[in-house]
C-alpha cells in the first residue's frame, strides 16, 4: 500500500504543482543520459509514472519508447503522456526481458515490498539493463529546501527507505549499485512562487504532518518569501543507479 492514496484530489494537486519547468530538468537530462540506454528505439520503463512528465521528457530527449506504468487511475486520467498502462510494481504487465532500462522517480517510498519490486524488474529487464531511482532517501533530505520551512517533515523522510536498504533489496536478485549522484534541479523561479504554488496534497511528507506543524511551516515559508530577493529555488535529489 502506498503511503498516500492518489485519488482525484491528490492527483489534481500533484498535476497542478509537481511539474518542473524545462530548465529545471536540464541537469536530470544530463544525469540520466550517463546511465540509461538512449539509442533510438530503446524500450524504457517509467514505473510509477504519475501524470507522465518523465515519460514525455524521455521520449522527447532521447526518442526512446517509454512504457509508462501507473497504478492510480486518477493520475493516469491527468497524464500528458498518451500511452499509460495500469499496473503495480510487484506484478508488472510486461513480458520477461523486454526492457532496456527502468526509471523510478519519487516512488520508492510508496513500495513496501522492495524485494518483490526488485524481482519484477529483474524479470522484465534485459541482462545488464540499469535501474535509475530518483528519490530522497532516509538520512539524505538536506538538499530539499522545503524542509527548511517544514523541518518536522524530515521525520517522515527518515521513515523512507535508505540507500543501503534499497541496495540490499536489489542485490538479493542480482543487481549491484554502480552510482549514487546528487543532482540539482530548479524547483521554482523564486521562493515566492514556490509558496504560492504549494499544495499540501501534492507532497507525501507534508500530507503526513499533523495540521499544526503544517500551518507553522506555511507561516515560516511565506515569511521567508516576503523577505527573500527573487532567485531560483534549487533543490538536490539523489540518483541511485543499479545494474
Residues 41-98: pLDDT tens digits?
Answer: 899 999 999 999 999 999 999 999 999 999 999 999 999 898 899 999 999 999 999 9
Classify domain 8-242 at the CATH superfamily level: Vaccinia Virus protein VP39 (3.40.50.150)
Q: Where is pLDDT greater, at 74 or 6?
A: 74
Q: Taking residues 187-216, what's their average pLDDT?
A: 94
**CA 200 to the chain's CA centroid:** 17
Residues 6+ positions from 19 with CB-CB distance below 8 Å? 51, 53
Q: How far is CA 153 from CA 43, 146, 198, in A?
A: 36, 9, 15
Please tell me the pTM assigned to this model: 0.93
pLDDT at 200 over 60: yes
Q: How confident is the model at residue 1 (pLDDT cuts 50, 70, 90)?
A: very low
pLDDT at 15 over 90: no
Pairing type for strands 177-188 and 233-242 reads antiparallel
Parse the chain into domains and list their residue ranges: 8-242
Amino acid at each position: 500500500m502506498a503511503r498516500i492514496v492518489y485519488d482525484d484530489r491528490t492527483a489534481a494537486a500533484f498535476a497542478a504543482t509537481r511539474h518542473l519547468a524545462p530548465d529545471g530538468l536540464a541537469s536530470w537530462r544530463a544525469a540520466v543520459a550517463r546511465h540509461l540506454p538512449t539509442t533510438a528505439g530503446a524500450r524504457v520503463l517509467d514505473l510509477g509514472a504519475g501524470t507522465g512528465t518523465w515519460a514525455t521528457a524521455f521520449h522527447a530527449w532521447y526518442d526512446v519508447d517509454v512504457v509508462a506504468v501507473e497504478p492510480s487511475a486518477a493520475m493516469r486520467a491527468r497524464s500528458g503522456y498518451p500511452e499509460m498502462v495500469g499496473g503495480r510494481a510487484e506484478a508488472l504487465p510486461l513480458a520477461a526481458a523486454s526492457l532496456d532500462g527502468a526509471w523510478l522517480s519519487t516512488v520508492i517510498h510508496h513500495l513496501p515490498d522492495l524485494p518483490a519490486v526488485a524481482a519484477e524488474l529483474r524479470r522484465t529487464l534485459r541482462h545488464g539493463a540499469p535501474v535509475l531511482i530518483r528519490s530522497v532517501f532516509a538520512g539524505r533530505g538536506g538538499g530539499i529546501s522545503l524542509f527548511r520551512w517544514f523541518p518536522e517533515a524530515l521525520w517522515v523522510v527518515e521513515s523512507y527507505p535508505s540507500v543501503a536498504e534499497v541496495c540490499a533489496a536489489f542485490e538479493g536478485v542480482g543487481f549491484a549499485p554502480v552510482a549514487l549522484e546528487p543532482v540539482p534541479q530548479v524547483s521554482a523561479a523564486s521562493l515566492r512562487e514556490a509558496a504560492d504554488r504549494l499544495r499540501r496534497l501534492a507532497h507525501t511528507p507534508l500530507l503526513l504532518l499533523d495540521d499544526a506543524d503544517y500551518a507553522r511551516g506555511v507561516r515560516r515559508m511565506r515569511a521567508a518569501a516576503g523577505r527573500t530577493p527573487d532567485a531560483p529555488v534549487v533543490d538536490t535529489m539523489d540518483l541511485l543507479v543499479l545494474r
